[in-house]
Structure 1
Amino acid sequence: MGDRREAFAARRELMGYTQESLAAAVGVEFSTVGRWERGDLTPQPYRRPRIAKALGLTLEELGTLLAPTPSGPNGTSAVALAQIAGADVLPVQPDLAETDDMNRRDLLRLFSMTGALLALPAAESAVCDAERLAAAARTGAVDSTAVAEFEQLNSHLWRVYAFASTKSQVLPLVRAQLDVLSEGLRRPQSPATRQRLCELSADLFQLAGEIFFDGDRYTDAAHCYTLAATASKEANTPDLWACALTRHAFIAVYERRFNEAAPILELAADLARRGNPGLSTRHWIAVVQAETFAGLGDLDACQRALDTAAEVQHLQEPVHNGGWLRFDGSRLAEERGTCYVTLGRPDLAEAALTDALAGNLTARRKAGVLTDLAMIGVHRRDPDQIVNYASAVLATARQTGSGVVVRKLRGLQPHLAPLLTNQQIQQLDAEINSLIGSHAA
């Protein structure tokens, strides 16, 4: 048995990979990564560029990490001793902006390739069953066990996304898994397996879209949601398809292009009626429709949509899957508050938003509620209320780097203009400008 490569394993962990996810990123069995780290096996030269890319290294730096780890006194590795001493033995983590751009380029490549694969006829329509199965055997078709593992990893990535303080950190893992699924779609598969791979791809494209949306990259997010919708159609999953359309429509809602959002949401609602009646798909769509009606100034239609959304409370568990569908009714109070603020009805909004604050909110959801409460302060010409709530939102934006939270503050800022004679409001406006400038940079 060879000497352990501890620096290689440490680099893998530093970049956020498990042995399984790194294996998926470079196209090997996860046990192979373990053998690389134990020194039992050395990656072949043709695999090294992909490994180096995944780990953010040059080929020379990768070669250094693959060298056996020498031992120091008492069996302590030289790497461990150097870390204790503060020496820089491990390669420095690459520039985050450059890494993010690399992942974005890789996703754009996947967009093009996956879009083409989904547009092509399924393998089974081109050859008879016997020929297809023979081709699958030759090319290594994905089996049911692998599909189940892919599904588990997808679920895991949604959980990681939910808890990540900086959402963009999840993008390399999503990209790697999409690469694996795309490779599976390139090979002849059984009809059932192809359908599952399309479904899993649609799931992850929605997650990639959420990451881009949080980073204020709405064009990239829209591209993800479009591919998610296409893959959902191929998978024949109406709920998944409806959710992809709803996310796409929400970009227009967020940019206050309500007339563009309305027809997309109507189509999504039609699809949801063909889906699983036990899921909350149609209720989530109703919430986004309520925001759209609020933006259009239609209080009655907004109220009807909110009432439809509230019917989720009558469904039996489970009403969502924790991934591409997460609506369970717990957000109804904050959604009502947002709608009433948009409609210029602070009298209705404040009670709903106060109820929402009493709930267990994520940092981003709480920032949204606080921004709406600051808007009520604008309606009341109350500088203390505005500054109190908006300052808390500023702190969240600085802590998370979330484009969603920054955009909330950007939306609030024009409403501060009539109050800029107040010194507190002037200071708040300057801090928002500074935040927007740093975020754009």
Structure 2
Amino acid sequence: MMQKAHHPNRLRALLREAGLTIREIHRETHIPESTLYYWAAGHGIIPKEDRKALAHVIGCSSHDLAPKYDIGEKIPYETASSEWSREMLIKRRELLHLLSVAGGALLTSDIDWNRIEASLTRPLDIDDIVVSDLEIINSRCWSLFMTASPKSSVLDGVLGQLKMQIHFLKEVRATRMHQRLCALTSSMSQLAGEIFFDLYDHATAQSCYISAASLAKEAEAFDLWASALVRYSYLPIFEGRYENAVPLLEHAESLAQRGDPALPTRSWTAATYAEAVSGIGNVKAYQSAFERAHHVSTLTMNCPAWVRFDESRLPALQGACYVRLGKPDQAEPILQKALLQSAKTNRRRAMILSDLALSALQQADIETACTYAEEAVTLAGLSESGFLRNNVLKIQQQLTPFISIEAVRALEQHIAALA
């Protein structure tokens, strides 16, 4: 079945008219082919600077490439046209280059930087101590990401770590060391993907997750491979293309079965699968998947940061599933419980509040929906998260028919102040 283009553009048509291929555009612009295909399918907004680069190569104007971007179409928050500075665009290009090569870091006292520096000049001298130090740096990067606001503030460290690991990866040939480096690089690629997902740059996030999955496959790291596919599935889930997420998650679940049963990967993949199938209205599949996800409550092992999933996340996920299934009477009490018990960060709280607002809307309680949405807007502004802002815009779109209500007009003004 042909999928609806959520952000239509004329990239595919203009390439055909110019007699150009995606590969030729990739060679001229250094934008990954996977990203170009993603944009050509209309599944993500093409950032402003990339529209200029594409237009230059194709021989058209930026407006010709994406006319609907310029005629007042209400599209999600686009960092390229507002807060995304030229410095961030440069970092994004650097990341995409690193991922194509793969096919800084944090200064801490317990890492042997002299040994790492020596290995950078003589890559074949890399040893277990160097790789163990790189693992420590990876862990620190993830820890900083989880507490950082905005999430993009850790991007420099992540890029530095990726650059170092890919440098080693190109040179090392010993199988065991090569696989360890592949696993480390996959972890950092997933972290970079999370940063760009938070910025609502889904095309770049997709490139990160595809690279991460390939690296984890090379490493034969099944839990890491499954986690890359779970993160990849978030892109279609949060764009409302639930049916596109299902095959990714089915593959992820099969990989997780080959992984470490002491890790929560199996529960995480099942919980995310529950989100996807609830979006297409499959109640039976949702119930079965969520039952599998509850296995996480039996686990006691301390988990690596890249698979951070625990029992505390289940209520919010279950509430979100009930919202997608159109069962607000079941969603609301669960989400209220999640708000009290598991909203440990502003990001998590904002996500729960957004679902509560949607639940209230489904019950035609406009005033309550606006109350929840007002706090979500405030938290989105504090976090500088494009992901959270787009959650707010989804609520705003559903409230448009009720613009005559004072609370809705006040919310519109609050959202406008985010720009």
Same fold? TM cut 0.5: yes
Q: Is 1:196 paired with 2:197?
A: no
1:102 maps to amino acid: I
Could you tell me whether the CA contact under 8 Å between 2:182 and 2:218 is conserved in 1?
Answer: yes
**Residue 189 (structure 1) shift:** 3.8
SS at match of 2:168: helix
SS at match of 1:331: helix
1:375 to 354, 358, 376: 358
1:394 to 354, 367, 377: 377
2:146 to 162, 185, 199: 162
2:94 corresponds in structure 1 to 106
Counterparts in 2 of 1:188 and 1:382: CA distance versus 1, 3 Å:
closer
**Residue 306 (structure 1) shift:** 1.0
2:284 to 282, 285, 300: 300
**Residue 376 (structure 1) shift:** 2.1
Q: Is 1:249 paired with 2:237?
A: no
1:223 to 207, 210, 229: 207
* Structure 2 Cα separation of the partners of residues 96 and 432 of structure 1: 18
1:80 corresponds in structure 2 to none
* Structure 1 Cα separation of the partners of residues 252 and 169 of structure 2: 26
Identity of aligned residues (%): 38
* Structure 2 Cα separation of the partners of residues 195 and 283 of structure 1: 25
2:324 to 329, 342, 345: 342
1:250 maps to amino acid: Y
Counterparts in 2 of 1:176 and 1:417: CA distance versus 1, 3 Å:
same
Q: TM-score, normalised by structure 1?
A: 0.70
Aligned length: 320
Could you tell me whether the CA contact under 8 Å between 2:312 and 2:342 is conserved in 1?
Answer: no
Q: Is 1:326 paired with 2:308?
A: yes
4+ runs deviating over 2 angstroms: 136-141, 315-318, 379-384, 429-435
Could you tell me whether the CA contact under 8 Å between 1:239 and 1:276 is conserved in 2?
Answer: yes
Q: Is 1:414 paired with 2:404?
A: no
SS at match of 2:306: coil
* Structure 2 Cα separation of the partners of residues 172 and 385 of structure 1: 41
1:155 maps to amino acid: S
* Structure 2 Cα separation of the partners of residues 360 and 263 of structure 1: 29
**Residue 395 (structure 1) shift:** 0.6
**Residue 433 (structure 1) shift:** 4.2
2:265 to 245, 266, 281: 281
2:328 maps to amino acid: P
Structure possessing the higher relative contact order (Cα contacts under 8 Å, 6 or more residues apart): 2
2:347 corresponds in structure 1 to 364
**Residue 312 (structure 1) shift:** 1.1
Could you tell me whether the CA contact under 8 Å between 1:110 and 1:178 is conserved in 2?
Answer: yes
Give the gaps of 5 or more residues in structure 1: 1-94, 116-135
1:345 maps to amino acid: K
Which of 1 and 2 has greater Rg?
1
Alignment of 1:128-147 (within 5 A): 139-147=123-131
1:173 corresponds in structure 2 to 157
Could you tell me whether the CA contact under 8 Å between 1:214 and 1:404 is conserved in 2?
Answer: yes
Q: TM-score, normalised by structure 2?
A: 0.74
Counterparts in 2 of 1:219 and 1:96: CA distance versus 1, 3 Å:
closer
Could you tell me whether the CA contact under 8 Å between 2:268 and 2:309 is conserved in 1?
Answer: yes
